[in-house]
Amino acid sequence: MLAKRALITGITGQDGSYLAEHLLSEGYEVWGLVRGQANPRVSRLRRLLGDVRLARGDLLDQGSLISAVERVRPDEVYNLGAISFVPMSWEQAELTAEVTGMGVLRMLEAIRVISGASSTIRFYQASSSEMFGQVRETPQTERTPFHPRSPYGVAKAYGHFLTQNYRESYGMFAVSGILFNHESPRRGAEFVTRKVSLGVARIKLGLAAELRLGNLEARRDWGFAGDYVRAMHLMLSADKPEDYVIGTGRTQSVRELVEAAFGAAGLNWQDYVIADQSLHRPAEVDLLCADPKKARTQLGWEATMPFEELISLMVESDLRLLTDGGDPDQDSSWP
Ligand code: NAP
Ligand code: F7E
């Protein structure tokens, strides 16, 4: 039997790498869409996953997506590509709308144009708990109304509704996973968990004396990225196309994250952390907490890694990385 073929946008990101690993282990032929003349993150991916094939393309460029779908002829498309760092979405709101929002339209159109109205290509959209924003209820479910608080959240809401609309308009197997924060040693250094794990490692090794952070009171539902990519695959393997909330069902504050991370290295966070008002956001999402019941009952999916274990894993990984002389900004040494 021929192997199933998957096309992943955003393959050079955190989730793209874990998803590629997972799909390869399931026997898929995995293709990644990569942009730019010489994307430096591709070499990292090559070292990690020699078996991934690459197609050039950009979510800003409709023709390139049509060509990629025509060339790869995928059974499944996972749209993970995005401007994903929330603060950047205020600085470059238009770019965020184009990549994170309109990019979804371009990818869906590429599928529709190449495979027609009766497309059998299954489509996964990386929706986000940021769409809940100023939450209307806790925990958040598939039925909780959206109130996004950043240009990123607004762009994701557009992509979410568009995916639903293509399902209803064209009968496409198009689904959204509403994923809550998920982290790993491969997380970008700008996100708070990795900023903290790297900060702790630098302090522990005598490479830094302090760590400046923004809002310590914000609460998030943090899980392990490796678990969350399994959920993406399960959604596209289901009998019916449906959207799912994916999270742990627990919530911690940034303050608790900091306490756990410094504690994992035997340090007291209060000796090193400086709360910096200039790092606060124009509009904050104060509290996120998933109700993943639908995913548990219909997909059999569950988060496996407790918060403290995840944070310890990240701190240990960054201690090893820096001890070995690795440079997290060069993306040179993914575990
Ligand atoms: P990430 O590490 O920031 O990766 C983003 C990816 O998007 C990178 O591979 C980047 O590729 C690609 N990209 C950026 N601009 C592009 C463009 N114009 N065309 C094509 N690709 C482009 O993000 P992640 O954490 O893996 O998240 C994956 C997806 O899930 C994102 O859509 C994110 O918004 C969403 N999400 C993430 C979380 C989370 O907690 N991680 C939660 C909910 C939803 P380059 O190498 O070319 O820059
Ligand atoms: O912030 C607070 C900050 O940048 C988490 C993306 O993957 O998850 C991610 O978005 C919280 C916020 O992630 C710092 O104010 C305090 O309340 O790690 P973050 P995020 O904004 O929740 C969602 C689900 C996505 O979809 C996104 O793509 O931490 N915080 N001090 C800080 N955050 C950062 N980055 N840096 C600080 O110094």
Task: Per residue of the chain (335 residues), give pLDDT as tens.
Answer: 789 999 999 999 999 999 999 999 999 999 999 998 888 788 778 777 779 999 999 999 999 999 999 999 999 999 999 999 999 999 999 999 999 999 999 999 999 999 986 789 999 999 999 999 999 999 999 999 999 999 999 999 999 999 999 999 999 999 999 999 999 999 999 999 999 999 999 999 999 999 999 999 999 999 999 999 999 999 999 999 999 999 999 999 999 999 999 999 999 999 999 999 999 999 999 999 999 999 999 999 999 999 999 999 999 999 999 999 887 866 555 66
Q: Which residues of 162-191 are buried (b: 16+ CB within 10 A; e: fewer)?
A: bbbebbeeeebbbbbbbbbbbbbbbbeeee
Query: Ligand 2 in contact with 84 (CB < 6 A)?
Result: yes
Q: Which two tokens stand for residue 73?
A: 């002829």
Residue type at 152 in one-letter notation:
Y
Instruction: Please give the number of the atom of ligand 2 that sits closest to the Cα of 156.
Output: 26
Q: Rounded to an integer, what distance in angstroms lies between the CA atom of residue 95 and that of residue 80?
A: 16
Q: Whose CA is nearest to atom 9 of ligand 2?
A: 181
pTM: 0.98
Give me the residue label for tokens 């050079």.
Answer: 12
- Residue listed under structure tokens 């990569």: 34
First-last CA distance in the chain: 33
- Ligand 1 atom at minimal distance to the Cα of residue 225: 41
In the residue annotation, 28 being an active-site residue is answered as no
170 an active-site residue? no
Q: Judge contact between 145 and 224, C-beta under 8 A.
A: no
Q: How far is CA 137 from CA 58, 220, 283, 304, in A?
A: 37, 14, 18, 25
**Residue 17 in contact with ligand 2 by CB distance below 6 A:** no
Q: Is 137 left (phi over 0), alpha (psi -120 to 50) or beta?
A: beta
Could you give all domains of the chain from N- to C-terminal order, each with its CATH number? 5-182+222-246 (3.40.50.720), 189-220+251-286+306-333 (3.90.25.10)
If you search the block for the tokens 């200039």, which residue do you land on?
A: 278
Pairing between strand 211-213 and 182-183?
unpaired
Ligand 2: centre distance to CA 73 (Å): 36
Residue 117 pLDDT: 67
Q: Who lines ligand 1 at CB under 6 A?
A: 9-10, 12-16, 35-36, 39, 41, 58-60, 80-84, 99, 126, 128, 179, 181-182, 188
Question: Pairing between strand 76-79 and 29-34?
Answer: unpaired
- What's the pLDDT at 200? 98
For atom 15 of ligand 2, the residue with the nearest CA is 215
Q: How far is the CA of 333 from the centre of ligand 2 (A)?
A: 23
Residue owning the nearest CA to atom 23 of ligand 1: 13
Ligand 2 touching residue 128 (CB < 6 A): yes
Q: Cis check for the bond before 139: say yes or no (omega within 30 of 0).
A: yes
| Cα atoms in the Cβ-side hemisphere of radius 13 Å centred on 46 | 7
Nearest protein CA to atom 43 of ligand 1, as residue: 128
Structure token digits, residue 260:
């756990």
